Structure 1
Amino acid sequence: MSFRKINILLSSSFAALIGLTSCSKSFIERNPVDPVTEPEAITNASGMQDALVGVYASYRATSFYGEDLPIIGDVSADNSFIAASNSGYYLTPYQYTFVNNDANYTEMWKQGYNIILNANKIINSSPTGDAETIGEIRSQAYALRALAYFKLINIYARPYTDNPSDSGISITLTDSSAAKPSRNTIKQVYTQIISDYKAALDSAPAYDNSVTLSQYAIEGLLSKAYLYMGDYTNALTQAEDVINNSGFSLVPSSSYASFWSNAAVQQNQQEVMFEIDANSINNNGYDDFAGQYANGYSQIFCDSALYASYSSTDVRRSVLESDTTLVAGKPRIVVHVNKFPNAANADRDNIKVIRLAEVYLIAAEAAYRTGDQATALQYLNALAQTRDPQLTAYASSGTQLLTDIINERRKELAFEGDRLYDLNRLQQTLYRNGTPYKGLPLTSQYITIAYDFYKRIAPIPLDELNANSNMTQNPGY
Structure 2
Amino acid sequence: MLITVALASCKDLVSIPEPIGSVTTKKVFATDAQANSAMAGIYTRMINNALDGNTGTQGFATGMSTIFGGMSANELVTASTGSADYLFNTNRLLADNGSSTKIWVTAYDAVYGANAVIEGIEASVSEKLHDDVRKRLTGEAKFIRAFSYFYLVNFFGEVPMALTIDFNKTVNMKKTPKAEVYAQMIKDLQEAKNLLPDNFSGAAGERILPTKWAATALLARIYLYAGDYSNAAAQASDVISQSALFQLPADLNEVFLKNSQEAIWQLQQGDLPANGKATPEGYTLVANKATIPNNRPFFHMSDELKNDFEMNDQRKTAWTWNETAAGKEVYYPYKYKVGTYNAREGVMTEYYMVMRLAEQYLIRAEARALANQSLNLAIADLNVIRRRAGLDDLPATLSKPEVILAIEHEKEIELFAEWGHRFFDLKRTGRAHDVLSAVPIKQPWNGDNQFLYPIPRTEIIANQNLIQNPGY
TM-score by length of 1: 0.82
Give 1:381 deviation, angstroms.
Answer: 1.1
Give 1:59 deviation, angstroms.
Answer: 1.7
Map of 2:174 onto structure 1: 182
Change (3 A) 1:433 1:45: same
Equivalent pairs, count: 425
Contact 2:269–2:279 (CA under 8 A) maintained in structure 1: no
1:374-413 aligned within 5 A: 374-388=376-390, 390-395=391-396, 396-413=398-415
Q: What secondary structure, in the 3-state scheme, does the structure 1 residue paired with 2:331 have?
A: strand
Map of 1:165 onto structure 2: none
Give 1:95 deviation, angstroms.
Answer: 2.2
Task: Supply the distance in 1 between the matched residues of 2:233 and 2:315 (Cα, whole angstroms).
Answer: 25
Which residue identity lines up with residue 156 of structure 1 in the other structure?
F
Do structure 1's residue 456 and structure 2's residue 457 form an aligned pair?
no
Which residue identity lines up with residue 387 of structure 1 in the other structure?
A
Give 1:92 deviation, angstroms.
Answer: 2.4
Change (3 A) 1:108 1:16: same
Give 1:282 deviation, angstroms.
Answer: 8.6
Contact 1:11–1:53 (CA under 8 A) maintained in structure 2: no
Task: Supply the distance in 2 between the matched residues of 1:453 and 1:11 (Cα, whole angstroms).
Answer: 44
Which residue identity lines up with residue 75 of structure 1 in the other structure?
M
What is the CA RMSD across the aligned residues, in angstroms?
A: 2.9
Map of 1:25 onto structure 2: none
Deviations 1:202-221 (A, max 9, x none): 11123212211011111000
Map of 2:106 onto structure 1: 111
Which residue identity lines up with residue 256 of structure 1 in the other structure?
L
Task: Supply the distance in 2 between the matched residues of 1:36 and 1:282 (Cα, whole angstroms).
Answer: 33
Task: Supply the distance in 2 between the matched residues of 1:341 and 1:87 (Cα, whole angstroms).
Answer: 28
Deviations 1:406-449 (A, max 9, x none): 110111100002111111101112545998xxxxxxxx725475
Which residue identity lines up with residue 350 of structure 1 in the other structure?
Y
Task: For structure 1, list consecutive stretches of 5 or more residues without a partner in the other structure.
Answer: 1-8, 22-34, 158-167, 436-443
Deviations 1:138-181 (A, max 9, x none): 10010000000111000001xxxxxxxxxx11111111345221
Do structure 1's residue 308 and structure 2's residue 307 form an aligned pair?
yes
Change (3 A) 1:449 1:36: farther
- 1:219 pairs, out of 216, 220, 231, with 216
Which residue identity lines up with residue 117 of structure 2 in the other structure?
I
1:139-288 aligned within 5 A: 139-157=139-157, 168-177=158-167, 179-180=170-171, 181-208=173-200, 209-245=206-242, 247-253=244-250, 255-260=251-256, 262=257, 264=258, 266=259, 270-281=261-272, 288=280
Map of 1:52 onto structure 2: 39
Task: Supply the distance in 1 between the matched residues of 2:405 and 2:21 (Cα, whole angstroms).
Answer: 49
Deviations 1:21-42 (A, max 9, x none): 9xxxxxxxxxxxxx99945312
Which residue identity lines up with residue 309 of structure 2 in the other structure?
Y
Change (3 A) 1:283 1:363: farther
Map of 1:26 onto structure 2: none
Change (3 A) 1:291 1:154: same
Map of 1:471 onto structure 2: 466
Map of 1:339 onto structure 2: 335
Percent identical among aligned pairs is 24
User: Is 342-351 or 134-143 further displaced after alignment?
Assistant: 342-351
Task: Supply the distance in 2 between the matched residues of 1:124 and 1:48 (Cα, whole angstroms).
Answer: 12
Q: What secondary structure, in the 3-state scheme, does the structure 2 residue paired with 1:65 have?
A: helix
Deviations 1:105-160 (A, max 9, x none): 11111111111111001111233322112101110010000000111000001xxx
Give 1:87 deviation, angstroms.
Answer: 8.1
Contact 2:220–2:236 (CA under 8 A) maintained in structure 1: yes
Do structure 1's residue 73 and structure 2's residue 69 form an aligned pair?
yes
Change (3 A) 1:374 1:449: farther
Contact 1:18–1:177 (CA under 8 A) maintained in structure 2: no
Q: What secondary structure, in the 3-state scheme, does the structure 1 residue paired with 2:332 have?
A: strand
Deviations 1:292-349 (A, max 9, x none): 32227512111233223323432211221232113xxxx3221122112212243485
Map of 1:40 onto structure 2: 24
Change (3 A) 1:52 1:377: same
Task: Supply the distance in 2 between the matched residues of 1:292 and 1:393 (Cα, whole angstroms).
Answer: 35
Q: Which structure: greater helix fraction?
A: 2
Give 1:403 deviation, angstroms.
Answer: 0.3
Q: What secondary structure, in the 3-state scheme, does the structure 1 residue paired with 2:62 have?
A: coil
Task: Supply the distance in 1 between the matched residues of 2:182 and 2:399 (Cα, whole angstroms).
Answer: 31
Contact 2:112–2:165 (CA under 8 A) maintained in structure 1: yes
Contact 1:117–1:176 (CA under 8 A) maintained in structure 2: no
Give 1:52 deviation, angstroms.
Answer: 0.6
Task: Supply the distance in 2 between the matched residues of 1:246 and 1:287 (Cα, whole angstroms).
Answer: 27
Give 1:56 deviation, angstroms.
Answer: 1.1
Contact 2:368–2:377 (CA under 8 A) maintained in structure 1: yes
Which residue identity lines up with residue 429 of structure 2 in the other structure?
L
Contact 2:437–2:445 (CA under 8 A) maintained in structure 1: no
Contact 1:171–1:184 (CA under 8 A) maintained in structure 2: yes
Contact 1:73–1:420 (CA under 8 A) maintained in structure 2: yes
Task: Supply the distance in 2 between the matched residues of 1:320 and 1:433 (Cα, whole angstroms).
Answer: 26
Which residue identity lines up with residue 448 of structure 2 in the other structure?
F
Give 1:43 deviation, angstroms.
Answer: 2.5
Task: Supply the distance in 2 between the matched residues of 1:283 and 1:228 (Cα, whole angstroms).
Answer: 37
Which residue identity lines up with residue 427 of structure 2 in the other structure?
N
- 2:287 pairs, out of 285, 295, 299, with 295
Change (3 A) 1:473 1:432: closer
Q: What secondary structure, in the 3-state scheme, does the structure 2 residue paired with 1:66 have?
A: helix
1:56-135 aligned within 5 A: 56-60=43-47, 61=49, 62-83=58-79, 85=80, 88=83, 90-125=85-120, 126-127=123-124, 128=126, 129-135=129-135
